[in-house]
Amino acid sequence: METKIKTGPVRPEMQLKAAARKRRRYKSVFTYAAFVGPAMLFFLVIQIVPFLMGLYYSFTSWNGVSSAVQWVGFENYTKIFTNDTAFYESFKFTTKFMLAAVVISNLLGFCFALLLNAALKTRNILRTVFFIPNVIGGLLLGFIWQFIFVKGFASVGNLTGIEFFKMPWLGDETTAFWGIVIVFAWQISGYMMVIYVAALQGVDTSLLEAAKIDGASGWAMLTKIIIPLILPAFTICFFLTISMAFKIFDLNISLTGGGPFNSTQSVAINIYQEAFQNNRYGLGTAKSILFFLVVAIFTTAQVMITKKKEVEA
């Protein structure tokens, strides 16, 4: 036997409340779309679409100019893995440069942060001085340091007779490598310093005062209290320096141009020459896809390792 449930008429105030909730929902969706929509659109057009197009072109033999695009499958990737020694050498240099640059940049940035976190009267001026190199563009910075290495160091060496300044800084494979590392660290350490300073200022001073009362040394407080508490800052700084060092291009091309004899050629320069100078756009994009995967693996592994350390700390 069926029972019928009688429902009374919907009251006008309930209809008004439902309509108001619907208007608020539409308003929140519209507000979200107005603020996030343009950013999402630009990200899609500038990042996602070119990446997908590059992925497609990496399977072609397109020269970057012609309208004819021939599909070659994995032929470009086969060439890279079989007989492209220049790419391997550039990748070897870039990896070695990344390791040296990450260590030196973060060490300098952290030391600057410790110095400026102290009660110094000139710390605001020093912060500006240390951060200014990061404001200068890579190309301009490279040409400035090229003049310093070639002309400035030679003049100082002739006046003082010190062999350090007489070395062919950009004319030898070893010294050119360290020259690029020095300039990169000089440019980026100020940016790392800002992140470390922000982290140090968030450390609870009562912990440091209690450790000092208990007789802890400065080194013990640094290694046992300060560094474990600011490990998230190390995670951020390592991620930034690894990605920046891997993608170095403008500083490298303005300082050495990849020389002498391609001994300081980064992967970015190798990809640029392959695509835009040798007109092998398909092969160049295949190299860029592999490069993207390697950088993603390195940075992801670094973040996972340092995040694990944060949890343990």
Mean pLDDT across the chain: 86
CATH of the domain at 220: 1.10.3720.10
168 φ, ψ to 5°? Answer: -75, 80
Query: Which pLDDT score is estimated for 11?
Result: 62
Same domain, 23 and 92: no
Same domain, 18 and 111: no
Same domain, 51 and 91: no
Same domain, 229 and 84: yes
Does 297 map to a domain?
A: yes
Handedness of CA 63, 64, 69, 75 (dihedral sign): positive
The answer to whether the CB of 239 falls within 8 A of the CB of 213 is no
Does 64 map to a domain?
A: no
Does 68 map to a domain?
A: no
Same domain, 198 and 299: yes
The answer to whether the CB of 146 falls within 8 A of the CB of 257 is no
Cα separation, 172 vs 138, in Å, equals 22
Give pLDDT tens digits for 187-219: 999 999 999 999 998 888 888 888 888 888 888
The answer to whether the CB of 258 falls within 8 A of the CB of 264 is yes
Same domain, 126 and 238: yes
Domain count, the chain: 2
Joined together, the tokens standing for residue 13 give 């105030």
The answer to whether the CB of 193 falls within 8 A of the CB of 109 is yes
Same domain, 143 and 34: no
Does 63 map to a domain?
A: no
Same domain, 135 and 217: yes
Overall pTM > 0.85: no
Query: Which pLDDT score is estimated for 3?
Result: 52
Q: What is the largest CA-CA distance in the chain?
A: 112
Same domain, 95 and 212: yes
The answer to whether the CB of 275 falls within 8 A of the CB of 281 is yes
- The residues pairing with 60 across neighbouring beta strands, listed in sequence order, are 71
Cα separation, 229 vs 211, in Å, equals 14
Same domain, 296 and 150: yes
Same domain, 92 and 241: yes
Cα 73 from chain centre: 31
Does 21 map to a domain?
A: yes
Query: Which pLDDT score is estimated for 101?
Result: 94
Query: Which pLDDT score is estimated for 102?
Result: 94
Joined together, the tokens standing for residue 129 give 């001085």
Does 194 map to a domain?
A: yes
SS3 state of residue 265: coil
Give residue 265's domain range.
Answer: 75-312
Query: Which pLDDT score is estimated for 216?
Result: 81
Residues in the chain predicted with pLDDT less than 70, given as ranges, are: 1-13, 15-16, 311-313
Query: Which pLDDT score is estimated for 100?
Result: 94
Same domain, 25 and 125: no
